[in-house]
Structure 1
Amino acid sequence: MGSFSIWHWLIVLLIVVMVFGTKKLKNIGSDLGGAVKGFKDGMKDGSTAADSTTSPSAGQVANHTATDKSTIDVEAKHKG
């Protein structure tokens, strides 16, 4: 009783086609396909962009803060 037979699905499909029409269903299908393709392309672009950008290593950050005179090391004040 919980599962539908093929006849139930055919009747539902017939009602959907009668309500929306084949042209509207075709447009919805092509829009959905374009959205899925755009999502996949975005995921590919996002993974390649994340791989190509590298975060600075610890040595680069330490060298940058050593040359920057306006940076105050808060922990150094508490230690000394």
Structure 2
Amino acid sequence: MLMAHPAILRNLVEQYRTLRALHAEKGTAESRRRLEDVTYTLCVSTGTRTPEEALVVADRRLAQERAEAADPAATAEPAA
């Protein structure tokens, strides 16, 4: 399965959390539509069906990316 680039995932997670808070506060049709749009994109980008699953997958992928950035040798391919 293709996985979105970590920068895109990070942005989608941030947008989702921001829009969820905005919708909880304002509850407008516009905030609902925007939240639905970013939820759909986040789910598609992570290969999941619910925003809860998408956040778990995205957070796991972002943690993996941070670990790889901190220690590139840990994920390097072994020499043949």
TM-score, L = length of structure 2: 0.32
Relative contact order (C-alpha < 8 Å, sep 6+): which is higher? Answer: 2
TM-score, L = length of structure 1: 0.32
